[in-house]
């Protein structure tokens, strides 16, 4: 019978694997504790793609908002679109609520910023904050989508999102957020200036100006 010997390199490799497994134990225990306390399991997987906006190309025409709601909601209702253009017209990435009313029309405020769902990595703020566990990943795209059957329209997801991207549809009373249109975003196809792109997922949350601190959001009425 041939004897197997373990050299120093093999020993270090096996030791590293064992240590890696042990280092994950606190994470697994934390997830188990969270699931037991909240009755839900946090979203750990990343979405397959994400929307990337180019403000330098945006003209503020609003076609993306219309395409979004017509395709997903069956109605032309820009105020509940999952991409936000209207609220940033002439006010920059922080929006009008940031006390920039006096800057309206000035040259330095001319750029229009499209706000899109960042399809956040773990921990997903809107999903973790939802008391009904109504925000889950789509099996095909990994996009964080709203389960209308579970959603009660409480609006906590809106306050939890640092960019306030989810919206409560006033007609249905349910939360609405970007689901990436099954992997072929209609807003991208509708943009006449190619100011929107559907790209492989990367963490855009680190590159984007936040409208709120998340959870401790400012008055929602001020952001309409």
What is the pLDDT, as a whole number, of residue 109? Answer: 55
The pLDDT value recorded for residue 7 is 55
Do 145 and 64 lie in one domain? The reply is: yes
1 is a domain residue: no
Pair 52, 28 in one domain: no
Number of domains in the chain: 2
Same domain? 109 vs 192? yes
Look at residue 2 and tell me if it is in a domain. no
Q: What is the mean pLDDT of residues 115-141?
A: 93
Residue 52 confidence class, pLDDT cut points 50, 70, 90: very high
Same domain for 111 and 63, yes or no, is yes
* In the predicted structure, residue 216 carries a pLDDT above the cut 90: no
Lowest pLDDT segment from 19-23, 95-99, 126-130, 209-213: 19-23
Residue 148 sits in the same domain as residue 182: yes
Looking at per-residue pLDDT, the higher value among 86 and 212 belongs to: 86
Q: Report if residue 161 sits inside a domain.
A: yes
Please give the C-alpha separations between residue 184 and each of 6, 48, 49, 51, 180, in angstroms, as whole numbers: 51, 12, 10, 10, 7
Residues 6+ apart with CB under 8 A from 108: none
Q: Which domain holds residue 173?
A: 43-223
pLDDT digits (tens, 9 = 90+) for 150-205: 999 999 999 999 999 999 999 999 999 999 999 999 999 999 999 999 999 999 98
Question: What would the pLDDT profile of 70-102 be if each residue is shown by its tens digit?
Answer: 999 999 999 999 999 877 766 555 555 444 444
Say if CB 49 and CB 183 are below 8 A apart: yes
Specify the pLDDT at position 186: 97
């Amino acid at each position: 019978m041939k004897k197997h010997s373990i050299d120093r390199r093999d020993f270090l490799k096996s030791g590293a694997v064992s240590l890696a497994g042990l280092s994950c134990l606190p994470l697994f225990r934390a997830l188990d504790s969270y699931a037991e306390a909240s009755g839900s399991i946090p979203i750990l997987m990343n979405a397959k793609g994400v929307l990337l906006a180019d403000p330098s190309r945006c003209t503020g025409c609003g076609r993306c908002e219309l395409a979004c709601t017509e395709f997903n909601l069956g109605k032309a209702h820009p105020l509940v679109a999952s991409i936000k253009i209207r609220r940033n017209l002439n006010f920059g990435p922080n929006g009008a609520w940031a006390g920039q009313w006096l800057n309206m029309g000035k040259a330095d405020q001319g750029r229009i910023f499209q706000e899109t769902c960042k399809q956040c990595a773990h921990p997903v703020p809107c999903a973790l904050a939802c008391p009904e566990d109504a925000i889950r990943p789509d099996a095909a795209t990994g996009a964080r989508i709203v389960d209308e059957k579970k959603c009660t329209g409480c609006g906590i997801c809106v306050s939890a999102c640092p960019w306030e991207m989810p919206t409560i549809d006033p007609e249905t009373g349910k939360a609405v957020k970007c689901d990436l249109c099954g992997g072929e975003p209609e807003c991208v196809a509708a943009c006449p200036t190619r100011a929107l792109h559907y790209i492989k997922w990367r963490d855009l949350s680190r590159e984007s100006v936040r409208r709120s601190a998340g959870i401790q959001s400012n008055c929602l009425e001020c952001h309409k």
